[in-house]
Structure 1
């Protein structure tokens, strides 16, 4: 972990020397790391998508053979192996954690810094935002992926996992994560969330177009 953190710190210093703005350097290095991890992220998305499809198929099987337990068991066992394989694909997120944690640690251990043009109301990136603008922005970016699932065009599943409890937990978690942490961490979280949102929208469009082509 320390090795990765040291590499990221060196890269951050190089980017800062080019941009002259540590806030911009944080955004750039966050996007670079997200792009490097994109193959793992997409693999995870496809695995989760397959999980959703299998869950819908198994629900259909239960409904179709609700009066025939033997046939139901036969078909459910057939799909159980596929479910296990797709769950292994979802575990790719664990491979991303060391790099993400090292990046977080790099920003957390930054020395005193000058203000950034991206956040002009803050005097230093290693202090918290007393105006709570950063926490509010991050909370909105966290909610966005859940909100776009409500838009029919971007919906990739007939089941929309969205409720009031999810909204409240997302709002509280997002606000608490950035309310008293250095602004540099908040900037990292916001950049990461916006990238994830764009990636998710592109993935949904890809899945929708692929489904349309298979139907046609």
Structure 2
């Protein structure tokens, strides 16, 4: 873990020497790490998509063979193996955690008194945002993936219903997470969240186009 942290710290220092702005360096290094982890992220998305398709297929099988217990059990066993394989694909998220933790730790150990043109109202990236602008922005970026599901083109057939409880829990968790954390961490969270949103939109477009080609 320290090895990864040292590499990221050296990279952050290098980016800072080029940009002259630690906030900009944080955004760049976050994007670099997210791009490097993109194969794992996409594999996870495909695995989750496969899980959703399998869930639909299982429901169809249960309905089709509800009066034939023997055939129902046979079909469910047949698809359970495929389901387990797709669940293993979802576990790739765990492989990303050491890198994400090391990146988080790198920002916690930044030099004191650093400022950024990206956040001009803050005197130092090591302090929290007393104006609560960073928590508000992060909360909006966290709500965005659920909100785009209301757009007909991006709506998934098996998506979780978007309820008031989900909105409230997302707002509270996002706000609390960045309320008293250093602005540098908040900037990392926002950059990471926006990148994930763009990646999710691109993935949904890809799936829609692929399904359209299959139908045609």
Bin the TM-score by the shorter chain. Answer: over 0.9
The runs of at least 4 consecutive aligned structure 1 residues that moved more than 4 Å come to none
Question: Could you list the runs of 5+ residues in structure 2 that have no partner in the other structure?
Answer: none
Structure 1 residue 138 displacement after superposition: 0.2
Contact persistence 2:154–2:204 (CA under 8 A) = yes
Structure 1 residue 150 displacement after superposition: 2.1
In the superposition, the TM-score normalised over structure 1's length comes to 0.97
Structure 1 residue 133 displacement after superposition: 0.4
Match of 2:30 in 1: 30
CA shift digits 1:19-69 (9 cap, x unpaired) = 000000000000000000000000000000000000010011111122222
Return the alpha-carbon distance in structure 2 between the equivalents of residues 23 and 159 of structure 1. 36
Return the alpha-carbon distance in structure 2 between the equivalents of residues 72 and 151 of structure 1. 36
- 2:189 pairs with 1:207: no
Match of 1:75 in 2: 75
Match of 2:8 in 1: 8
**DSSP 3-state at the match of 2:63:** helix
CA shift digits 1:127-149 (9 cap, x unpaired) = 00000000000011011111112
Q: How many residue pairs end up in the alignment?
A: 216
**DSSP 3-state at the match of 1:149:** helix
In the superposition, the TM-score normalised over structure 2's length comes to 0.97
Match of 1:62 in 2: 62
Return the alpha-carbon distance in structure 1 between the equivalents of residues 64 and 159 of structure 2. 19
Return the alpha-carbon distance in structure 1 between the equivalents of residues 112 and 209 of structure 2. 48
CA shift digits 1:142-162 (9 cap, x unpaired) = 111111122210123244442
Return the alpha-carbon distance in structure 1 between the equivalents of residues 158 and 52 of structure 2. 9
Contact persistence 1:37–1:96 (CA under 8 A) = yes
Contact persistence 2:12–2:25 (CA under 8 A) = yes
Match of 1:99 in 2: 99
- Root-mean-square deviation (Å): 1.0
Residue pairs, 1:94-173, within 5 angstroms? 94-173=94-173
Question: Could you list the runs of 5+ residues in structure 1 that have no partner in the other structure?
Answer: none
